[in-house]
Amino acid sequence: MKNSNSYLPLIYLGILLLFHAAQSENPDSTETGNSKIHVYPYLFYTPETHLAFGAAAISYFRTSADTLVKPSKLTLSGYYSTRRQYYVVLRPEFYLMQNTYRIYLDANFGNFYDKFWGIGNTTPDIETVDYTRMAYGFQLNSQTRLYGNIKGGAIFELSKSVIKDKKENPYLLAGNIPGTEGGMNSGLGAAFSYDSRDNIFYPGRGGFLELQAVFFEEMFGGDFNFQRYLANYRHFTTLATNHILAFQFYGNFTSGMIPFYELPGLGGQNTMRGYFLGRYRDKQYLMAQAEYRTIVWWRLGLVGFAGVGDVTNSLSNLRLPDLKYSVGIGIRFVLDVREKLNVRMDIGFGKESAGLYFAIEEAF
């Protein structure tokens, strides 16, 4: 995303929304019994979408009067652009029976412009990276307590992609990369997690570790046979009152015949901010980032973040001099003081790229 000026309207709107929220003790929210709902609109412009508008909402509640029970939540967001693109994401996460069970669903549906620069960590910038794709899918992750803060369970994932128009993308027109005609993915797997965070929205102490292994097979109804292994570790330390240092280490490792759009991609609004999600793709992806978080006045906060990471076809080929970097700053506004729920606006910078992100909850 070299043309960062395309995101100036979003910066402007984000600042307006933050100041509008600051005028109210309980901005854009309604409380219903034990639950709360926050809703906000957003507007942005990129060369791919042109003008787009949408909205996001989060509802959260506890399934017990016990304050030690983690809050369950449901987030919904979507946008529609003047180029008739749309994308909708639904993410409910429930903690049940005194935190004994955790059930998480990530569902999405969209028709949008995407980009593909080829495979590898040295792919060049070319002008014909665009293509259009329609996709839908979900991942259901259900876990139960095994011992203490350790949970384990099963994952079911199903998704389908249709490559509607390859445009002039040379890698897709060549047709020698899996997934250039789209296809169905269906997988089963297992997940284990350890969670000692003192707060799921804005942790100040503790950590979170999740390990996943998902196996996609034709016997499950898919078109491809491949495997994906995830490792996601986060740690949080309070340095002083309202001063928090957060770390994340993330790995996404795949093998088999993987459709190109399922290859681990570097970038996005949560990891390696500053790069278009998928600017670099390959079978293995390693990333580490740190973030300093503080409240500067009333409900307004600031963050600074930095990260390093890269993709590679084999971990043995990972080279420190080749690692990509990401740095940036962000503004926070506390929507809910008790639950420590924030809305965020981040601007990240990578190597010859930049990105702006506006969302509810922290990046990690």
Over residues 178-190, the pLDDT tens digits come to 999 999 999 999 9
Across the range 295-317, mean pLDDT stands at 96
Q: Which residues contact 225 (CB under 8 A, 6 or more apart)?
A: 216, 217, 218, 256, 257
Say what the pTM is.
0.88
Rounded-to-integer distance, Cα 114 and Cα 81, Å: 14
Q: Minimum mean pLDDT among 39-53, 124-138, 304-318: which range?
A: 39-53
> Where is 78: in which H helix or E strand?
strand 72-81
| Residue 68, pLDDT score | 86
- Would you say residue 115 has pLDDT above 60? yes
Question: Each residue of 192-211: pLDDT tens digit?
Answer: 999 999 999 999 999 999 99
Model confidence pLDDT, tens digit, residues 20-60 = 444 444 444 444 446 889 988 888 877 778 888 989 999 99
How many other C-beta atoms lie within 10 A of the C-beta of residue 171? 20
- DSSP-derived secondary structure for 286-328: EEEEEEEEEEEETTEEEEEEEEEEEEESSGGG--GGG-EEEEE
Q: Which of 79-83, 234-238, 255-259, 279-283 has the lowest mean pLDDT?
A: 79-83
CA 33, CA 61: separation in Å to the nearest integer?
9
Show the tokens assigned to 59.
């509802």
Is residue 179 within 8 Å of residue 161, measured between CB atoms? Answer: yes
Predicted confidence at residue 6, as pLDDT, reads 47
CB 253 within 8 A of CB 284: yes
> What is the reported pLDDT for 46?
74
Does position 61 have pLDDT exceeding 80, yes or no?
yes
**Helix %, strand %, coil % for the chain, to 5?**
10, 60, 30
- Is residue 294 predicted with pLDDT exceeding 70? yes
Name the H helices within the chain. Answer: 8-21, 170-174
Of 48, 119, 172, nearest in space to 280 by CA: 119
Average pLDDT over residues 97-126: 95
The separation between CA 63 and the C-alpha centre of its own chain, rounded to angstroms, equals 26
Tell which wins on pLDDT, 13 or 62: 62
CB 308 within 8 A of CB 323: yes
CATH topology assigned to domain 4-360: Porin (2.40.160)
The more confidently predicted of residues 360 and 282 is: 282
- Tell me what percent of the residues of the chain surpass a pLDDT of 70: 90
Residues in Cβ contact with 81 at an 8 Å cutoff, skipping those fewer than 6 apart = 49, 50, 51, 52, 53
DSSP type of residue 25: S
Pairing of strands 101-115, 183-195: unpaired
Q: How far apart are CA 344 and CA 359, in angstroms?
A: 5
One-letter amino acid of 177: I
Supply the mean pLDDT for the chain. Answer: 90
* pLDDT at 88 > cutoff 80: yes
32-61 b/e with 16+ CB inside 10 Å = b? eeeebebebebbbbbebbeebebebebbbb
